[in-house]
């Protein structure tokens, strides 16, 4: 059995879970800055408070799967994205702490909300910068990172940062549309009307720029023309469904459409870079750990992941339906 | 100190990991305490247990939150500062940490929401189950990370192939020679930390004659656990000492503060030294005569092995190791004394009224945290110059990141973490000052516990709870 491939599938699964789940968390966080009413902000935070921790855990899962299964890739990528990673970790830290600190007092709550929001925005942007840096190409010398720590500071990664941020905002808007009522729902509606076109524009320009900055992207388009075109077509369809369902009766449909859209985007990306673990530089087999490491990692992944998904789903089910306007205690 | 990349990477890791460990130590201990208290409430339906639960749940939530966000940093820092370590040892510690994430982080995260916000929505039994799962998660997390760290202390079950480590036997990697002693040592430390925190806050209220019933229960439960745990800890610590003496003699040589291969006879037990590593001697050394021989060799005139027994290029820096050990050990002695006093006072009915004792409990409230930090400094600085003992040197493990960048991020970490710590302490002190009734809303126990909570807030309860 091709164990490295299976570990890579698990890593891809983890990062997809992360983007979809923490995506709407971060999106809701980013939107706090635009919401002037404190009661509405409380409502927004309440809608993600019981489940954010599990969502963020998928990020650790991804990182650690890389460390366990593909130590060479991990040891090249961490120094390559040293600066955006540390900024992301600090931003996530401040944001996570704000979750616990903002209920502690009325007086400072607006400041904590600002920290929360800026932390979410910065985290989303750094993730986009890393994505852009990966596609643009990481410099490897021997079996270590050989570039400069600021290689990611170029126009293309910055464009990706914008796409990721607005992608998360779209997810966050759809989440609020599903979970909140009254004023917050109208707020979500207005957000989606603006954020979705912004996301689509940024995403399309990022795709076009990618083809110019990275010749391998063009090559991949040539080999996978049909499947990539299908994915793009389905994304467009999801976007249209999303547009059409804003303000309509079904409260779940926008979120389903947005999740499909982003999920398809990830699938397209996976198709572009497969079978590389560092895009266009290092294949997953070249970076792989020895067999027993995969055996251990995968036995954990195979036996424990279903359990994790089951009780995570249970946690969502406990907090199903509309978030109470006065918080979970009301 | 030379501020090269290796040193900066080490300082950054040391700073972030030291800051981090404060919070899991607290939350591992508090999770178990909350489980016990909620169990007692389910059994007795005595509202004071629910009151204690609600109060500590608020502090637990904050400690857990800060622990999570500072822990994420560590899972990336293996590669950020020590890429070469990640490359060589990733196949060994990576899968262990992956299993930690799968079996414990997700478990904690899944049930934490229910524990903190859930129980207008689930019954008291399910709430208790959620508390148990969070406590189990903290225990599993400690088990995996202690296993990974113990493997770095006493590596086993691996072979070096083409400069990479390859696992030959997972059982030997996980159940490595020191894990079985270091895990109970750390867990007991965390439970002791919570016991002293709980008892300290109770004593604070007793001294101010506030929240009497709450405070008495807190002091009583806290000191009951502390008395049992410290006795166990002394025992576990002793076994661990001889295990480490066997596997890492250099660490224990540095920990006792002697330089000569064989110390003078009778050997004193040093409490203060100023070591001079360059000249392999102590500039200043104060200790209690004979005690070194008695404690360490169990004879009146026995000699203790000194750091010169280890070649210079394999010696840890004595100062850090020695003081890490002395801080931990000194506090353990104080804890033992307080525990003995508590048993005596309990026997004579003065546990809640003896003011000098209550004052010492207030002072000792953070003692578990300080002792745990001391212990980790002993463990980690004593392992140097190795990152994986005997296999990989720390200087060979660092990332190709310029020292200027490392310095900037170190400064950023210091600012952000100082900010987090300040906010955390302000809110904890404010919660303690406000007292148990005013525990924040989001930490309320449950809605199906709605009736119990309503009762708790009623005039009858106020009378019962002595408010």
Residue B225 C-beta-side C-alpha neighbours within 13 Å: 23
Of B82-96, B197-211, B440-454, where does mean pLDDT reach its minimum? B440-454
Q: How far apart are CA B387 and CA B139, in angstroms?
A: 25
Disruptive mutation site among A3, A93, A141, A295 for chain B (greatest number of B CBs within 10 Å):
A93
Cα dist from A206 to A19, A129, A132, A138, A143, whole Å: 18, 12, 9, 18, 30
Cβ of B442 within 8 Å of Cβ of A329? The answer is: yes
Average pLDDT of the residues in A39-64: 91
> What pLDDT was estimated at residue A198?
96
Name the one residue in this structure whose structure tokens are 């049930």. Answer: B111
Cβ B121 vs Cβ B198: under 8 Å: no
pLDDT, tens digit, 9 for 90 and up, residues B344-356: 999 998 899 999 9
Q: Any bridge partners for residue B119, and if so which?
A: B446
> What pLDDT was estimated at residue B120?
73
Cα dist from A13 to A264, A281, B386, whole Å: 13, 21, 36
pLDDT, tens digit, 9 for 90 and up, residues A242-272: 999 998 888 899 999 999 999 999 999 999 9
Cβ of B167 within 8 Å of Cβ of A296? The answer is: yes
Of A165-179, B134-148, B267-281, B453-467, where does mean pLDDT reach its minimum? B453-467
Least Cα distance to B195 among B233, B161, B166, B163 occurs for B233
Residue B96 has pLDDT above 60, yes or no: yes
> What pLDDT was estimated at residue B446?
38
Average pLDDT of the residues in B183-196: 96
Determine the Cα angle at B187 with ends B183 and B190, to 5°: 145
- At residue B389, the 3 state secondary structure works out as coil
Q: Any bridge partners for residue B262, and if so which?
A: B305
* pLDDT confidence tier of residue B1, bands split at 50, 70 and 90: low
Cβ of A53 within 8 Å of Cβ of B121? The answer is: no
Cβ of B440 within 8 Å of Cβ of A103? The answer is: yes
Given B75, B88, B409, which is nearest A64 (Cβ)? B75
Q: How far apart are CA B71 and CA B78, in angstroms?
A: 12
Q: How far apart are CA B221 and CA B197, in angstroms?
A: 11
Determine the Cα angle at B69 with ends A96 and B187, to 5°: 130
Phi, psi of A247 (to 5 degrees): 85, -5
Cβ of B70 within 8 Å of Cβ of A93? The answer is: yes
* pLDDT confidence tier of residue B444, bands split at 50, 70 and 90: very low
Which stretches of chain A are assigned E, i.e. beta strand? 140-141, 144-145, 276-278, 282-283
Cβ of B405 within 8 Å of Cβ of A65? The answer is: no
> What pLDDT was estimated at residue A167?
96
> What pLDDT was estimated at residue A262?
95
| The pair of three-digit structure tokens given for residue A320, joined into one six-digit string | 């199903």
Chain CA centroid to CA A302, Å: 23
Cβ A98 vs Cβ A116: under 8 Å: yes
> What pLDDT was estimated at residue A19?
96
What is the value of ipTM here, to two decimals?
0.91
Model pTM score: 0.90
Given A64, A90, A293, which is nearest B101 (Cβ)? A64
CA-based nearest residue in chain A for residue B116: A50
| The pair of three-digit structure tokens given for residue B64, joined into one six-digit string | 């857990």
DSSP β-ladder status, B386-388 and B281-288: unpaired
Average pLDDT, chain A: 92
Cβ of A54 within 8 Å of Cβ of B90? The answer is: no
Q: How far apart are CA B296 and CA B302, in angstroms?
A: 8
Phi, psi of B273 (to 5 degrees): -135, 155
Burial B366-379 (b: 16+ CB within 10 A, else e): bbbbbbbbbbbbbb
Rounded to 10 deg, the angle between the B355-364 and B318-347 helix axes is 150
Distance from the Cα of B308 to chain A's closest Cα (Å) equals: 36
Distance from the Cα of B89 to chain A's closest Cα (Å) equals: 8
Q: Any bridge partners for residue A140, and if so which?
A: A145
A112: Cβ contacts below 8 Å, ≥ 6 apart: A98, A101, A102
Q: How far apart are CA B76 and CA B86, in angstroms?
A: 10
pLDDT, tens digit, 9 for 90 and up, residues B33-77: 999 999 999 999 888 998 999 999 999 999 999 999 999 999 899
Q: Any bridge partners for residue B275, and if so which?
A: B282
Given B84, B90, B117, which is nearest A67 (Cβ)? B90
Window B:150-179, CB contacts with A under 8 Å: 161, 164, 166-168, 170
Any idea what DSSP says for residue B353?
T
A195: Cβ contacts below 8 Å, ≥ 6 apart: A166, A169, A170, A173
Disruptive mutation site among A21, A46, A51, A68 for chain B (greatest number of B CBs within 10 Å):
A68
pLDDT, tens digit, 9 for 90 and up, residues B282-341: 898 898 888 888 888 888 888 888 898 899 999 999 999 999 999 999 999 999 999 999
- At residue A288, the 3 state secondary structure works out as coil
Distance from the Cα of B226 to chain A's closest Cα (Å) equals: 29
Interchain contact B83–A (C-beta under 8 A): yes
Which stretches of B41-108 are assigned E, i.e. beta strand? none
CA-based nearest residue in chain A for residue B105: A57
| The pair of three-digit structure tokens given for residue B423, joined into one six-digit string | 């906010």
> What pLDDT was estimated at residue A289?
87
Window B:410-439, CB contacts with A under 8 Å: 412-413, 416, 419-420, 423-424, 427, 430-431
Residue B442 has pLDDT above 50, yes or no: no
How many interface pairs between A and B have CB atoms less than 8 angstroms apart?
Answer: 246
Element holding B276 (H helix, E strand): strand B269-276
Element holding B165 (H helix, E strand): strand B164-167
Q: Any bridge partners for residue A283, and if so which?
A: A276
Residues of chain B neighbouring A293 (CB-CB closer than 8 A): 90-92, 94-95, 167
Residue B467 has pLDDT above 90, yes or no: no
CB atoms within 10 A of CB A281: 18
* pLDDT confidence tier of residue B461, bands split at 50, 70 and 90: low
Cβ of A304 within 8 Å of Cβ of B103? The answer is: yes
Distance from the Cα of A202 to chain B's closest Cα (Å) equals: 29
Q: How far apart are CA B252 and CA B181, in angstroms?
A: 16
Residues of chain B neighbouring A51 (CB-CB closer than 8 A): 113
Q: How far apart are CA A157 and CA A279, in angstroms?
A: 14
* pLDDT confidence tier of residue B119, bands split at 50, 70 and 90: low
Q: How far apart are CA A123 and CA A73, in angstroms?
A: 22
Residue B342 has pLDDT above 80, yes or no: yes
Least Cα distance to B443 among A104, A242, A202, A261 occurs for A104
Given B94, B401, B416, which is nearest A293 (Cβ)? B94
Cis peptide bond N-terminal to A275, omega within 30: yes
Distance from the Cα of B95 to chain A's closest Cα (Å) equals: 5
Average pLDDT, chain B: 89
Average pLDDT of the residues in B137-159: 94
Cβ of A71 within 8 Å of Cβ of B88? The answer is: yes
Residues of chain B neighbouring A314 (CB-CB closer than 8 A): 110
Residue B445 has pLDDT above 50, yes or no: no
Cβ A43 vs Cβ A325: under 8 Å: yes
Distance from the Cα of A154 to chain B's closest Cα (Å) equals: 18
Distance from the Cα of A205 to chain B's closest Cα (Å) equals: 31
Residue B419 has pLDDT above 50, yes or no: yes
Distance from the Cα of B106 to chain A's closest Cα (Å) equals: 6
Residue B164 has pLDDT above 90, yes or no: no
Cβ of A293 within 8 Å of Cβ of B95? The answer is: yes
| The pair of three-digit structure tokens given for residue A322, joined into one six-digit string | 């509309």
> What pLDDT was estimated at residue B2?
64
Cβ of A315 within 8 Å of Cβ of B113? The answer is: yes
Average pLDDT of the residues in B184-206: 96
Given A74, A104, A308, which is nearest B440 (Cβ)? A104
Least Cα distance to B174 among B205, B138, B201, B146 occurs for B146
């Amino acid at each position: 059995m091709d164990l490295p491939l299976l570990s890579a599938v698990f890593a891809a699964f983890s990062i997809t879970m992360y983007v979809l789940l923490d995506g709407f968390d971060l999106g809701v966080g980013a939107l706090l800055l635009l919401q002037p009413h404190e009661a509405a902000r409380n409502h927004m935070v309440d809608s993600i408070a019981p489940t954010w921790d599990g969502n963020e855990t998928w990020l650790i899962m991804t990182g650690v799967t890389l460390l366990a299964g593909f130590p060479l890739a991990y040891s090249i990528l961490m120094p390559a994205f040293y600066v955006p990673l540390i900024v992301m970790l600090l931003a996530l830290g401040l944001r996570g702490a704000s979750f616990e600190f903002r209920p502690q007092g009325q007086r400072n709550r607006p400041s904590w909300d600002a920290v929360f929001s800026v932390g979410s925005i910065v985290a989303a942007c750094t993730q986009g910068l890393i994505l852009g840096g990966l596609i643009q190409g990481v410099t490897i010398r021997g079996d270590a990172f050989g570039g400069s720590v600021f290689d990611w500071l170029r126009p293309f990664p910055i464009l990706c940062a914008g796409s990721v941020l607005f992608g998360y905002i779209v997810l966050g808007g759809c989440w609020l549309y599903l979970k909140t009522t009254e004023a917050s729902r109208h707020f979500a509606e207005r957000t989606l009307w603006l954020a979705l076109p912004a996301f689509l524009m940024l995403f399309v320009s990022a795709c076009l720029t990618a083809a110019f900055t990275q010749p391998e992207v063009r090559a991949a388009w040539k080999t996978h023309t049909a499947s990539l075109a299908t994915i793009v077509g389905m994304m467009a369809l999801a976007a249209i469904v999303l547009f059409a369902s804003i303000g309509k009766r079904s409260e779940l449909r926008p979120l389903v459409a947005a999740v499909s859209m982003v999920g398809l985007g990830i699938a397209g990306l996976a198709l572009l870079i497969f079978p590389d673990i560092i895009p266009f530089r290092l294949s997953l087999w070249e970076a792989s750990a020895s067999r027993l490491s995969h055996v251990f990692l995968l036995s954990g992944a195979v036996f424990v992941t279903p359990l994790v998904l089951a009780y995570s789903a249970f946690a969502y089910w406990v907090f199903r339906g509309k978030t109470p306007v006065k918080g979970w205690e009301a | 100190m030379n501020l090269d990349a290796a040193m900066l990477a080490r300082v950054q890791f040391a700073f972030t990991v030291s800051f981090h460990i404060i919070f899991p130590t607290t939350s591992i201990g508090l999770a178990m305490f909350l489980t016990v208290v909620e169990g007692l409430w389910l059994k007795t339906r005595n509202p004071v247990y629910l009151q204690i639960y609600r109060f500590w749940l608020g502090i637990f939530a904050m400690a857990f939150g800060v622990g999570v966000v500072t822990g994420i940093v560590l899972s990336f820092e293996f590669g950020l500062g020590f890429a070469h370590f990640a490359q060589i040892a990733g196949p060994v510690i990576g899968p262990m940490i992956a299993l930690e994430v799968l079996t414990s982080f997700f478990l904690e995260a899944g049930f934490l929401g229910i524990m903190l916000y859930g129980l207008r929505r689930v019954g008291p039994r399910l709430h208790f189950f959620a508390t148990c799962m969070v406590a189990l998660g903290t225990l599993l997390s400690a088990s995996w990370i202690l296993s990974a760290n113990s493997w770095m202390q006493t590596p086993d079950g691996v072979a070096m192939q083409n400069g990479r480590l390859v696992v030959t036997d997972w059982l030997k990697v996980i159940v490595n020679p020191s894990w079985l002693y270091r895990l109970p040592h750390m867990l007991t430390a965390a439970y002791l930390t919570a016991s002293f925190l709980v008892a300290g806050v109770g004593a604070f209220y007793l001294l101010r004659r506030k929240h009497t019933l709450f405070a008495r229960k807190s002091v009583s439960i806290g000191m009951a656990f502390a008395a049992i745990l410290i006795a166990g800890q002394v025992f576990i610590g002793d076994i661990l000492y001889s295990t480490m003496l066997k596997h890492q003699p250099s660490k224990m040589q540095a920990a006792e503060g002697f330089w000569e291969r064989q110390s003078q006879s009778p050997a004193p037990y040093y409490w203060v030294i100023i070591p001079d590593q360059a000249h392999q001697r102590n500039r200043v050394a104060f200790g209690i005569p004979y005690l070194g021989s008695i404690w360490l060799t169990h004879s009146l005139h026995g000699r203790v092995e000194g750091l010169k027994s280890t070649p210079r290029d394999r010696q840890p820096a004595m100062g850090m190791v020695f003081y890490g050990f002395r801080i931990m050990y000194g506090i353990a002695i104080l804890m033992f004394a307080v525990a003995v006093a508590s048993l005596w006072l309990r026997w004579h009915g003065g546990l809640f009224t003896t003011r000098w004792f209550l004052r010492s409990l207030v002072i000792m409230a953070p003692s578990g945290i300080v002792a745990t930090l001391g212990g980790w400094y002993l463990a980690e600085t004593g392992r140097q110059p190795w990152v994986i003992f005997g296999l990989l040197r720390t200087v060979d493990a660092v990332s190709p990141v310029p020292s200027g960048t490392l310095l900037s991020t170190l400064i950023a970490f210091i600012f952000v973490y100082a900010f987090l710590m300040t906010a955390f302490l302000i809110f904890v002190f404010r919660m303690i000052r406000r007292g148990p009734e005013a525990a924040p809303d989001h930490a309320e126990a449950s809605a199906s516990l709605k009736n119990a909570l309503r009762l708790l807030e009623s005039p009858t309860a106020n009378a019962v709870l002595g408010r």
